[in-house]
Amino acid sequence: MHRCYRRVGYVDSSSHQVEVSRRNLQVTRETLELTRQRFATGLSDNVKVVQAQASLTSAELGVINGVFAHKVAKVSLARSIASAADSLQQFLSLQ
């Protein structure tokens, strides 16, 4: 049963990580837009735009990794719950 509690913590933690990753993605999109505007007005060079695009790609990958980790945590929790239920059933049938 201890494993189930730990798995719930993993699910909560990974859910929070997805939220943070999504906020980071939004900020990175806004940064890219501002960088493009600065480039369009001549206040910045295209190197900054390329760097902002790379940051956006990295942020998108962060969201993908976060969602994947969250799904893995949920599957792990489901397996722990099923295992605990099986163990409980075996324990009760022994008495």
pTM of the model: 0.76
Res 66: pLDDT: 94
Name which residue leads in pLDDT, 22 or 87.
22
Q: Between the CA of residue 92 and those of 6, 85, 86, 87, what are the distances in Å?
A: 24, 11, 10, 9
**Between these two residues, 81 and 85, which has the higher pLDDT value?**
81
48-59 mean pLDDT: 98
Query: What helix, strand, coil percent values describe the chain, rounded to 5?
Result: 95, 0, 5
What pLDDT, in 10s, does the model give residues 24-49? 999 999 999 999 999 999 999 999 99
DSSP designation for 22: H
Distance CA 43, CA 35 (A): 9
Confidence (pLDDT) at 92: 60
